[in-house]
Amino acid sequence: IFEQTVRSQNDTEVPNMGQYFKTNNSHTVGPVQIYKTNHNEKRISVQEQSYYNTVHPTKYSIRGNTYNVGTSYYHLDKIADNVVSALHRLSNEEVAIKKLELDLSGSELDKLKFWKNAYKEMKILNTLNHNNIIKLRDVILRDDLNEIYLVQDLMGHDLSKIKHKLTIDNIKHYMYKILKGIKYMHSRNVSKYEKTPVEKTGTPIKN
């Protein structure tokens, strides 16, 4: 629906979403352990069985903001406006989840712009693969497409909290990492993107 909505009102063709979001790259379901028996039957691990036999919440209210992230993520904690940290229920990995929310009071043109920008952000993040750029690990879409959640790597710290303690060597180190990420983005024909090492902004730059 998302792809068709963007394509129907865009003067250029939008590539198929399947080209960018492959099943084996998604962490929505998590790692599935398959075992073979003597009868060539397949069964899931005890961890998976426990997951599917348990009713998990799909909606969380964090400091007045609602996050519909499904059953795969839990222990949400706000780290910025529309950005929370979370744990993947099966792998127990820490992630950052960025919420993109449609303004329902906007015009049809505003809604189209939201979907197009969200699609572009997902496409760009999913095609970038560099050690100094945060990776897009998962995308959670609500059925009505009013909310889109981007699941990304969670940075271990926030430079804004230690900016007064940085030495010249520290600054050189971080600038080198940032410039390496920017150089790679330019090599992938990404010429304009948010460039800051602070986790809370939802940036792609990874230190």
DSSP string of 73-89, one letter each residue: EEEEEEEETTEEEEEET
Alpha carbon 39 to its chain's center: 40
CATH number for the domain spanning 145: value is 3.30.200.20
Residue 69 lies in a domain: yes
Distance of CA 10 to the CA centre of its chain: 25
Rounded to an integer, what is the distance from CA 121 to the centroid of its chain? 10
pLDDT at 181: 92
191 falls within a domain: no
Residue 120 CB partners (closer than 8 Å, separation 6+): none
User: Which of 63, 79, 74 minimizes the C-alpha distance to 158?
Assistant: 79
Does any domain span residue 197?
no
Give the lowest-confidence range in 22-36, 57-71, 113-127: 22-36
- What are the C-alpha distances in Å from 43 to residues 37, 47, 71, 88, 90? 8, 12, 21, 22, 17
Cα(119)–Cα(126) distance, rounded to whole angstroms? 11
**pLDDT average, residue stretch 139-152:** 86
Give the chain's count of helices (H) and strands (E): 4, 9
Residue 1 to residue 7: CA distance in whole angstroms: 10
Per-residue pLDDT, averaged over 172-200, amounts to: 78
The domain in which residue 56 lies consists of 2-155
pLDDT at residue 166 greater than cutoff 70:
yes
Q: 95, 88 in Cβ contact below 8 A?
A: yes
Looking at the predicted structure, is the pLDDT value of residue 122 above 50?
yes
Give the pTM: 0.64
pLDDT of 94 > 80? The answer is yes
> Chain-wide mean pLDDT for the chain?
71
Q: How far apart are CA 186 and CA 193, in angstroms?
A: 10
Residue 112 lies in a domain: yes
Rounded Cα–Cα distance for residues 3 and 16 (Å): 7
Domain contains 114: yes
Tell me whether residue 182 is in a domain. Answer: no
Rg (alpha carbons) of the chain, rounded to whole number: 19
Domain count, the chain: 1
Task: For 10-63, write each residue's pLDDT tens digit.
Answer: 444 433 333 333 333 333 333 333 233 334 444 545 555 555 545 455 777 877
